[in-house]
């Protein structure tokens, strides 16, 4: 393990003014998104879509610090033969890879899930390093309802995240640990805060027990939000205050940065919430973004699979990347959306 390399990479990933593009949709997920714009999900179309994003200037140079890739994309080359990983590196961003195998039903706990993918992970990590990946991502799913999450679900998922993180660092790959407390459901913001704090405290206990170097890791959590079906939706300032309070209670200051997932929020909400947190005062860690849909939905609609829409697609991506870059500095405003 090269601790200096891990720390340097982690700090590069969460640097001020930049954030992470999550372009790691599985083949099934990207098919659903392509279906929405009437585009066939072929390997070439998936490559063309991602190549458009990775070649976008100045977004990739000025607003994107890293890109999470799917296994297929990590191995693909652009139309001119340049590996997609190389396009990312040339832009000054760090290539990464999603390594989990998805959330599976948890035996004995109806409706709860635990993430699969630890079997054979050590060997895959060494291969991914050789292919150019310098960080990885593993997502755990925690659902809230009247009876969930169970202690068993939280424990199982945090234990798996810690084992994954230790394997990453052994291979000199920075782990992004992603315990996502879902915003589905009718719970209020206080219940979300309670479950998120519980989950994060358990996660850092497991990371400590597994010897994970926190300075060479990145946290990708949910924001503290009202459930989608909750009658009372918390406002921007309430979300920011509740999220910061939760993080201060549960995330060690040794962690260099926190890159939030958007979790089904609208593009504007995800940006506004991140901005409010960064504008709230001095914090122990850099707060940034690791958005997929919140960065890609507008460009995808602008592209719609048509070559003549190439420039419109890149203009849309430039705009969303720029807005979120401002949010990492606490300098965004609704007026700047245009």
Q: Which residues are catalytic?
A: 178, 220
Chain CA centroid to CA 326, Å: 18
> Which residues, 6+ apart, have CB-to-CB distance to 232 below 8 Å?
188, 226
- Which residues are CB-contacts of 31 (< 8 A; sequence separation ≥ 6)? 41
Q: How far is CA 60 from each of CA 19, 103, 282, rounded to the nearest angstrom?
A: 10, 30, 27
Cα(259)–Cα(249) distance, integer angstroms: 17
What is the Cβ-side half-sphere exposure of residue 87, based on CA atoms within 13 angstroms?
25
Residue 335, classified by CB atoms within 10 Å of its CB into exposed (0-12), middle (13-18) or buried (19+), is: exposed
């Amino acid at each position: 393990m090269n601790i200096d390399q891990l720390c340097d990479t982690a700090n590069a990933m969460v640097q001020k003014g930049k954030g992470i593009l999550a372009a790691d949709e599985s083949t099934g997920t990207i098919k659903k998104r392509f279906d929405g714009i009437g585009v066939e999900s072929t390997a070439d179309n998936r490559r063309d879509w991602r190549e458009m994003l990775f070649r976008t200037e100045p977004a990739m140079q000025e607003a994107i610090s890293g890109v999470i890739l799917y296994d297929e994309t990590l191995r693909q080359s652009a139309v001119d033969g340049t590996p997609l990983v190389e396009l990312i590196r040339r832009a000054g961003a760090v290539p990464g890879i999603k390594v989990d195998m998805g959330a599976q039903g948890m035996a004995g706990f109806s409706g709860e899930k635990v993430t699969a993918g630890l079997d054979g992970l050590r060997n895959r990590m060494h291969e991914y390093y050789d292919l150019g990946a310098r960080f990885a991502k593993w997502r755990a799913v925690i659902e809230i309802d009247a009876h969930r999450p169970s202690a068993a679900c939280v424990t199982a998922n945090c234990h798996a995240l810690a084992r994954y993180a230790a394997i990453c660092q052994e291979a000199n790959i920075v782990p992004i640990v992603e315990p996502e407390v879902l915003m589905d459901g009718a719970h209020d913001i206080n219940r979300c805060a309670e479950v998120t704090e519980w989950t994060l405290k358990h996660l850092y206990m497991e990371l400590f027990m597994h010897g994970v170097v926190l300075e060479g890791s990145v946290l990708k959590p949910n924001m503290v939000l009202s459930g989608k079906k909750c009658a009372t939706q918390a406002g921007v300032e309430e979300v920011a205050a509740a999220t910061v309070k939760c993080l201060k209670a549960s995330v060690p200051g040794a962690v260099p940065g926190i890159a939030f997932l958007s979790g089904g929020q609208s593009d504007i909400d995800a940006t506004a919430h991140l901005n409010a947190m960064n504008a709230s005062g001095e914090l122990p860690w850099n707060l940034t973004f690791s958005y997929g849909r919140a960065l890609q939905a507008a460009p995808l609609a602008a592209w719609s699979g048509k070559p003549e829409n190439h420039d419109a697609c890149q203009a849309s991506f430039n705009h969303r990347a720029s807005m979120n870059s401002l949010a990492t500095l606490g300098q965004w405003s609704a007026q700047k959306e245009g």
